[in-house]
């Protein structure tokens, strides 16, 4: 660890001067620092929600307010309908047309969180945004705890401050995005992974599987951690016999599957076509499967590929009335339309497979801010509504954190800490991006890992410049 042992003489001197042991003072300093960072993070979030971009009302939309739209509208209304006893219906369709239709467009936990709030009367767009901001601030505390565990209290406080101010974190909270809940759940998974490394017991293997599945029930791509995180931990980091390794792997995966089973079973029972985590797989694939998303200015991003591939006639022929507007539209089972979308997307991908490596590279490049950077930045605030100023600040802070992250990872490796729990987040994110499209919002777990590592890196550099007497 960064903090060197304190000698008995130093301890006695410090305790006689302050009346408190040094460890207590360090803990108090850490707690105060994290509390201050959390208060700062909450203040930034509330300022944007209540002052800078208050929720638009009475369908009046301008550049000064936030419109609950897109994914936010889906989650907001799905949560409110859950409170009214309507189990996981399409919140978007209800808000627009007043229709109730079974939906699994997103995994259930974020909407369930909003539903619990709605049960007790916290159901407006603004109150849901404030609640999401408060949950998002939990990530600040968890980032601090992880950094402190790996490198001491100074690193923990620095990481907390970075998490408090980084727009790539707080902008999700104010926009009613599931990432607000996803961030602390991902961090709890990292904590579970390090606890498993400390003592690879059956119980901690089960806890790791549980934490990954809970995160996946918020955003489905977290399920990739069963591969990217668990496999290296079991077969590389953990020192045990092969029988013991397979036992730990089996426990982790079994608990994870058992946690997912109610949602999976519910979906398999209520839809015509097989649906597991989400019924939007086809829609997501379709958004990245057309010429506009595979070449030109928008290479690696998403597009309205359905319209641009002129598939309306094909869809109408397959499902009469599905393309009509308003009350005349025939509503088909969500899984049926999604299966059709998936089929069309896979056909396009197959026909253009020679171009796929270039597209995947562009998607990853956009997510990591090394390809079409300014174009992606403009799309973030013009298309996704993430705000020009926070998007710009987030971009340049990301670049600042890159070298500091490398310093932190090197410092951890030098002190023989496993990097697997942090680096596995890169693997899961890049696989999700490679198979969908390059949206910086999908990079959230990487940003969390970078903040932790950067906090450690800054602390390590500071220790070299201003060494404490205990380190000299």
Tens of pLDDT, residue by residue over 232-268, are 999 999 888 999 999 999 999 999 999 999 999 999 9
In a domain, 146, yes or no: yes
- Return d(Cα 9, Cα 14) in angstroms, integer: 9
In a domain, 295, yes or no: no
pLDDT of residue 59: 63
Residues 184, 230: contact at Cβ < 8 Å?
A: no
Tens of pLDDT, residue by residue over 346-378, are 999 999 999 999 999 999 999 999 999 999 999
In a domain, 454, yes or no: yes
Residues 189, 259: contact at Cβ < 8 Å?
A: no
Domain that holds residue 63: 12-280+359-465
**10-24, 64-78, 124-138, 179-193: segment of lowest average pLDDT:** 10-24
Please say if the pLDDT value at position 442 is more than 80: yes
Please say if the pLDDT value at position 61 is more than 90: no
Q: What is the pTM of this model?
A: 0.92
In a domain, 304, yes or no: no
In a domain, 69, yes or no: yes
Q: Work out how many domains the chain is built from and give that number.
A: 1
pLDDT of residue 186: 98
- Return d(Cα 44, Cα 348) in angstroms, integer: 44
What are the tokens at 321?
């009335």
Tens of pLDDT, residue by residue over 197-217, are 999 999 999 999 999 999 999
φ/ψ (deg, to 5) at 366: -65, -45
In a domain, 444, yes or no: yes
- Return d(Cα 379, Cα 181) in angstroms, integer: 24
In a domain, 56, yes or no: yes
Residue 15 banded pLDDT, cuts 50, 70, 90: very low
Residues 104, 262: contact at Cβ < 8 Å?
A: no
What are the tokens at 297?
């200015």
- Residue (of 264, 71, 17, 287) closest to 181 by Cα position: 71
Beta bridge partners of 66: 55
In a domain, 296, yes or no: no
Give helix 22-47 / helix 167-174 axis angle, nearest 10°: 50
Question: What are the percentages of helix, strand and coil residues in the chain, rounded to 5?
Answer: 75, 0, 25
């Amino acid at each position: 660890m960064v903090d060197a042992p304190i000698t008995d003489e130093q301890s006695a001197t410090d305790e006689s001067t302050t009346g408190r042991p040094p460890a207590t003072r360090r803990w108090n300093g850490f707690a105060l620092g994290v509390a201050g960072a959390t208060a700062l993070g909450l203040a930034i979030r509330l300022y944007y929600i209540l002052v800078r971009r208050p929720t638009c009302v009475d369908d009046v939309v301008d550049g000064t307010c936030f419109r609950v739209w897109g994914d936010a509208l889906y989650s907001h209304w799905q949560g409110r309908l859950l409170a009214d006893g309507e189990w996981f219906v399409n919140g978007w369709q209800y808000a627009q047309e007043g229709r109730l239709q079974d939906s699994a467009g997103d995994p259930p936990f974020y909407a369930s969180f909003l539903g619990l709030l709605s049960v007790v009367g916290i159901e407006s767009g603004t109150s849901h945004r404030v609640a999401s901001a408060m949950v998002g601030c939990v990530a600040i505390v968890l980032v601090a705890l992880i950094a402190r565990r790996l490198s001491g209290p100074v690193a923990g406080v620095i990481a907390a401050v970075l998490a408090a101010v980084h727009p790539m974190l707080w902008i999700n909270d104010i926009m009613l995005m599931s990432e607000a809940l996803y961030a602390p759940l991902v961090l709890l998974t990292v904590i579970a992974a390090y606890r498993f490394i400390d003592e690879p017991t059956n119980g901690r293997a089960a806890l790791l599987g549980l934490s990954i599945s809970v995160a996946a029930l918020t955003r489905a791509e977290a399920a990739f951690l069963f591969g990217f995180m668990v496999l290296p931990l079991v077969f590389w980091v953990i020192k045990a016999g092969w029988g013991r390794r397979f036992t730990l792997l089996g426990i982790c995966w079994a608990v994870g599957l058992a946690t997912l089973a109610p949602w999976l079973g519910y979906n398999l029972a209520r839809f015509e076509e097989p649906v597991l985590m989400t019924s939007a797989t086809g829609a997501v694939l379709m958004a990245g499967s057309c010429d506009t998303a595979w070449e030109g200015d928008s290479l690696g991003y998403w597009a309205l590929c359905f319209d641009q591939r002129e598939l309306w006639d094909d869809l109408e022929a397959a499902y009469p009335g599905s393309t009509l507007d308003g009350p005349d539209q025939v509503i088909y089972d969500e899984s049926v339309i999604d299966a059709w979308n998936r089929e069309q997307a896979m056909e396009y991908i197959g026909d253009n497979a020679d171009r796929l490596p270039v597209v995947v590279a562009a998607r990853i490049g956009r997510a990591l801010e090394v390809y079409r950077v300014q174009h992606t930045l403009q799309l973030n605030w013009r298309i996704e509504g993430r705000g020009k100023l926070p998007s710009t600040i987030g971009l340049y802070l990301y670049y600042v954190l890159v070298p500091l992250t490398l310093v932190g990872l090197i410092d951890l490796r030098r002190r023989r800490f496993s990097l697997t729990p942090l680096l596995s987040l890169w693997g899961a994110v890049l696989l999700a991006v490679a198979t969908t499209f390059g949206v910086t919002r999908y990079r959230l777990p990487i940003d969390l890992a970078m903040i932790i590592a950067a906090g450690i890196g800054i602390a390590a550099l500071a220790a070299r410049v201003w060494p404490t007497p205990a380190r000299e």
